[in-house]
Amino acid sequence: MKDNRITENLILQLQEVVGSDYVITGKERTEAYLYDEVEKTYRPEAATDCVVVKPASTEEVSGILKAADQAAAPVVVRGGATGLAGGCTPVVDSIIISTERLNHIVEIDQENMVAVLEAGVTLMDLLEELEKYEGLSFPVHPGDEGAQMGGMAVTNAGGARAVRHGVMRKHILGLTAVLPNGEILELGGKLIKNNAGYNLTQLLLGSEGTLAVVTRVILKIFPKEKASATIVAPFEKIEDACHAVTDILRSGYTPLAVEYMDKRLFVDTAKMLGLKWQAEQGNADLLIILSERTEQQLYDAVRAINEICEKNGAYPCLYAGKQKEEEELLLVRSQHYELIKDEICDSFDMAVPVSYVSQFILGLKELVAEYGTGTNIIAHIADGNVHNDILFLPDGTIPPYADELKHKMYDLCYSFDGTVTGEHGIGKIRVEELAQQKDPAELALMKGIKDVFDPKGIMNPGALFDL
């Protein structure tokens, strides 16, 4: 699919579908639609002869795909472009479907506790809307609230709160999706139980725009929990911190989130923000975020978790119960990237079973030490999901060993039965690793499914599989 299929004739057809105001052509005007949030040093290179189309309805998406199918022209969907795997970057000249106008909150159905949302509704839009309803919330929270519902669905987004609430897959009951030939599918619904045939809704979740365009999601919503607190539990050793985590998970008191960062990241990020990291003792701090229905439940959970941490050798834990104190702790956790972003030339999203996480983190530290370098560890630790990185050399260049080190990190991850991506997805930057990680039979089935949905191979070329 090397020749450019974005012809003048195709552009005219797209203008007929959405109106010429919503078709953008020309390299200068389309260049703002090419990349996501992957670091420049390892993002895929974008093809530049693309056309951007902004549909406002499922029917318009269908019209776009019919035209694309006829011309066998590649199609890449661009949601909030907060992705961290290069998924929405077109690597061949493509029609880029920007979902920004599919931004209507169709319904907040309080009886069934579901929200019906167009794909371009951002997480921020949803959270703002739910504020208007007494006591409703949606718990899944990947770090950037500019992420859209369609993007969050097809990347099966996670985030810190997965400890308590799981990932997107757990919360989506139905989808409207448009097949590459323009056919519209209504999948699932507001049903809690639905065992009729293969679950195609679940198949599309995590498909990263390679099978169909999602235009609408039906999402579970939840009663809001009113009592919250954050504990900082400092440990001398990461092994003890991790042991406390598995004990907490077994205790029946399930925190909203359990986050780990290297101590220096907590201390230096706080300093950068003009704050002070209060936990002076220890080398391995856990940030344990609790959220409960009532103050009494919160009190019980704090007490039980404190006891578990103490039993595992924690120094005295610190508590933030007031909103301002909690916000400061979460700010330190969320702003660490500002501290380290200029040091990083590659970063990772591996996950291992939670019982192996301390060995994995220690293994990563040993590995980078062999190369005379370091790595920053930031982990959704109770999910076994570890984000770490490869650092530039002091002169700002990419180290000659970067590729070798990356493969050794992945081998280490596999040795603990892990996966190359816990939440960010394969996109266009981990295609080789997907093929390495998966058994050939599983990979062949995946490719077979892709062929059934997308026989002409027009959906998001280069994502998940080689071009």
Ligand X SMILES: Cc1cc2nc3c(=O)[nH]c(=O)nc-3n(C[C@H](O)[C@H](O)[C@H](O)COP(=O)(O)OP(=O)(O)OC[C@H]3O[C@@H](n4cnc5c(N)ncnc54)[C@H](O)[C@@H]3O)c2cc1C
The residues of the shown chain that bind ligand X, judged by CB under 6 A, are 36-37, 76-84, 87-88, 99, 119, 142-144, 147-148, 150-152, 154-155, 157-159, 208-209, 213-214, 423-424, 427, 460, 463
The DSSP bridge partners found for residue 76 are 96
CB of 131 to ligand X, least distance (A): 21
Structure tokens at 381: 């630790």
Residue placing its CB nearer to ligand X in the complex, 208 or 285: 208
Nearest approach, Cβ of 459 to ligand X (angstroms)? 8
Residue placing its CB nearer to ligand X in the complex, 96 or 279: 96
Using CB positions, name the residue nearest to ligand X.
151
C-beta closer to ligand X: residue 47 or 147: 147
Q: Are 432 and 403 in contact (CB under 8 A)?
A: no
Whichever of 185 and 362 has its CB closer to ligand X, that residue is: 185
Give the nearer residue to ligand X in terms of CB position, either 44 or 87. Answer: 87
Q: Which is nearer to ligand X, 88 or 317 (CB)?
A: 88
Q: What is the 3-state secondary structure (H, E, C) of 168-222?
A: HHHCEEEEEEECCCCCEEEEECCCCCCCCCCCHHHHHCCCCCCCCEEEEEEEECE
- Cα separation, 429 vs 57, whole angstroms: 31
What is the rounded CA–CA span in Å between residue 261 and residue 339?
13
Backbone angles phi, psi at 378, to 5 degrees: -130, 125
CB of 348 to ligand X, least distance (A): 13
Supply the Cα-derived Rg of the chain in whole angstroms: 23
Which 3 state secondary structure label does DSSP give 220? Answer: strand
Q: Which residues pair with 214 in a beta bridge?
A: 177
Q: Return the number of the residue (157 or 409) whose C-beta is nearest ligand X.
A: 157
CA distances to 39, 230, 266, 324, 347 from 390, in Å: 12, 30, 19, 34, 6
Least Cβ distance, residue 427 to ligand X (angstroms): 6
According to DSSP, the β-strands at 51-53 and 95-98 are parallel
Q: Which of 244, 335, 325 is nearest to 282 (CA)?
A: 244
Q: Which is nearer to ligand X, 144 or 328 (CB)?
A: 144
Distance of closest approach, residue 253 Cβ to ligand X, in angstroms: 23
Q: Are 416 and 360 in contact (CB under 8 A)?
A: yes
Number of other residues whose CB lies within 10 A of the CB of residue 368? 18
Name the nearest CA neighbour of 207 among 182, 179, 165, 171: 179
Burial class (CB in 10 A: 0-12, 13-18, 19+), 441: exposed
Q: How far is the CB of 226 from ligand X (least distance, A)?
A: 24
In DSSP terms, 284 is beta-bridged to: 235, 262
CB of 236 to ligand X, least distance (A): 28
- In angstroms, give the least distance from the CB of 325 to ligand X: 23
Would strands 227-235 and 318-320 be described as parallel, antiparallel, or unpaired?
antiparallel
Shortest separation between residue 86's beta carbon and ligand X, angstroms: 8
- Residue whose CB is less far from ligand X, 162 or 221: 162
CB of 458 to ligand X, least distance (A): 13
Nearer to ligand X, 84 or 219 (CB): 84
